[in-house]
Amino acid sequence: MQLKDLERRQADNKDVNWITAIFMALFHVGAVAALFFFTWKALLVAMFLWWVSGSLGIGMSYHRLLTHRGYKTYKWVEYFLTFCATLALEGGPIFWVATHRIHHKYSDQEGDPHSPIDGKWWAHMGWILMGKSMHHDTTTLARYVPDLAKDKFHVWITKYHYVPQIICGAVLYAIGGLPWLLWGTFLRTVVGLHATWLVNSATHSWGSRRFATRDLSTNSWWVALLTFGEGWHNNHHAHPTSARHGLTWYEIDTNWYGIWLLKKLHLAWDIKSVKLDEIKRGLVAAPNGRLVTDAVLEPAASGD
């Protein structure tokens, strides 16, 4: 990207989204406060809700089901998983899915909401706190999510996506007091947010590249562990509709295991999945990049 283009984009994104910034600051303060109210039960509650919101919600619902339609399930299952995703405090399904579809369309190019070519800080959370990417108009969102825009539940839950988080926090406080609230809501949410943001920043900056995709996506084992399998990002960009991101036995993909379990329970079908040996034998094409040898990718140039 030319320096003039980068300067123009940075100028367009200089305004602070104050409401978002204030709530992010409050949640981070709550996360720090949680460290002074530790109990083992509070930790276990936080870990459970981290899995519910991050795996059942963001990974299995927002990403692999709603965004890429990597599998099909009953509407009640889809709605339940979507409800779980709202607990991650990453916005409603229409906003999240539209933003991610825009990311895939313009990945690491002009129009990408969160690329490290605009700076690693920007890719991680700057795009949330500043700029226009958080405020697409309804027409723009609907253009990228026509399937969700006509679904009354998804429209409603997008409008009131913060309500489940409030209800969950109230229940936690009623059962376990301040430790459960601080750990189960504030610390758990902050950890989940940064884990998700690492997919935008870290896996487009460092890691290995199995596929020569047109973007900067990489595979990162440690981001995969923090995001229940979303860190196998280069695999995903090469095969975006595949519900399976970990293509080998050693690429741990908890979200895929959850989808596999849904299939065994007869709650999921028409699952799109690829395996590395099938790709190597030429049985499955890599639509967004040819297969290459796993090698460490040099850090991409960025604006920070």
Q: Which amino acid is at 94?
A: I
The confidence score (pLDDT) of residue 132 equals 65
The confidence score (pLDDT) of residue 291 equals 73
pLDDT band at 4, cuts 50/70/90? very low
Q: Which amino acid is at 303?
A: G
b/e sequence 55-84, b meaning 16+ C-beta within 10 Å: bbbbbbbbbbbbbbebbebeeebbbebbbb
What sign does the dihedral 224-229-235-241 (CA atoms) show? Answer: negative
In what helix (H) or strand (E) does residue 207 lie, and over which residues does it extend? strand 207-208
pTM: 0.89
Beta bridge partners of 211: 291
In this predicted model, what pLDDT tens digit does every residue of 236-290 receive, in sequence order? 999 999 999 999 999 999 999 999 999 999 999 999 998 887 777 665 666 666 7
Q: Are 246 and 238 in contact (CB under 8 A)?
A: no
β pairing state of 211-213 and 296-297:
unpaired
pLDDT band at 293, cuts 50/70/90? low
pLDDT band at 94, cuts 50/70/90? very high
In this predicted model, what pLDDT tens digit does every residue of 176-205 receive, in sequence order? 999 999 999 999 999 999 999 999 999 999
Q: CA dihedral in degrees (154, 157, 159, 164; nearest 10)? A: -160
Q: Which amino acid is at 52?
A: V
How far apart CA 115 and CA 28 sit, in angstroms, is 23
CA 74, 271, 206: angle at the middle one, nearest 5?
115
Greatest CA separation for the chain: 57
- 69 Cβ partners below 8 Å, 6+ apart? 147, 241
pLDDT band at 302, cuts 50/70/90? very low
CA-to-CA separations, 191 to 65, 227, 233, in angstroms, rounded? 23, 10, 19
The confidence score (pLDDT) of residue 136 equals 62
Report the SS3 class of residue 110.
Answer: coil
How far apart CA 299 and CA 116 sit, in angstroms, is 10
How far apart CA 264 and CA 257 sit, in angstroms, is 10
Which of 158, 136, 132 has its CA nearest to residue 8? Answer: 132
Q: Are 77 and 215 in contact (CB under 8 A)?
A: no
The confidence score (pLDDT) of residue 9 equals 52
In this predicted model, what pLDDT tens digit does every residue of 22-52 receive, in sequence order? 999 999 999 999 999 999 999 999 999 999 9
Beta bridge partners of 86: none
The confidence score (pLDDT) of residue 30 equals 97
Q: How many CB atoms lie within 10 A of CB 215?
A: 22
In this predicted model, what pLDDT tens digit does every residue of 206-215 receive, in sequence order? 999 999 999 9
In this predicted model, what pLDDT tens digit does every residue of 101-139 receive, in sequence order? 999 999 999 989 999 999 999 999 999 998 666 556 666
